[in-house]
């Protein structure tokens, strides 16, 4: 797969963008990731949240599957949900 360090989303084909995002997520250091159990718990909360739209959080604009992956990230909602 080609990784374009200088591409914006609008420069990429939709399929390519999704593949890049998944590839990025797979390369995240295991030491900064939450456990699989915690990850699934976070995503299940997002799936029931009114702020989830097409995989993105309307509170912060992030992709929740990426945001939920790391220990330092929190739900941006106040009060936060995870
Ligand atoms: S990160 Fe928080 S506010 Fe955003 S969709 Fe998930 S639960 Fe909702």
**pLDDT value at position 12?**
75
**pLDDT value at position 61?**
94
**CB distance 62 to ligand 1 below 6 Å:** no
**pLDDT value at position 13?**
79
**Residue of minimum CA distance from atom 7 in ligand 1:** 46
Q: Do 52 and 64 meet the contact criterion of CB atoms below 8 Å apart?
A: yes
List, in sequence order, every residue forming a beta bridge with 33; answer none if it has no partner: 70
- Residue 80 inside a domain? The answer is no
Q: What is the 3-state secondary structure (H, E, C) of the chain?
A: CCCCCCCCHHHCCHHHHHHHHHHHHHCCCHHHECCHHHHHHHHHHHHCCCCEECCEECCCCCEHHHHCCECCCCCCCCCCCC
- Residue 57 inside a domain? The answer is yes
- Residue 56 inside a domain? The answer is yes
Number of domains in the chain: 1
- Residue 59 inside a domain? The answer is yes
**Beta pairing class for 56-57 and 52-53:** antiparallel
Q: Report the separation in Å between the CA atom of 76 and the middle of ligand 1, taken as the mean of its atom positions.
A: 7
Report the mean per-residue pLDDT for the chain: 90
């Amino acid at each position: 797969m080609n990784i374009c360090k200088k591409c914006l989303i609008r420069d990429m084909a939709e399929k390519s963008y999704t593949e890049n995002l998944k590839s990025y997520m797979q390369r995240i250091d295991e030491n900064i990731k939450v456990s699989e159990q915690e990850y699934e718990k976070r995503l299940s909360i997002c799936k029931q949240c009114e702020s989830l739209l097409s995989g993105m959080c309307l509170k912060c604009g992030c992709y929740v599957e990426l945001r939920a992956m790391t220990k330092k990230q929190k739900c941006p909602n106040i009060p936060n949900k995870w």
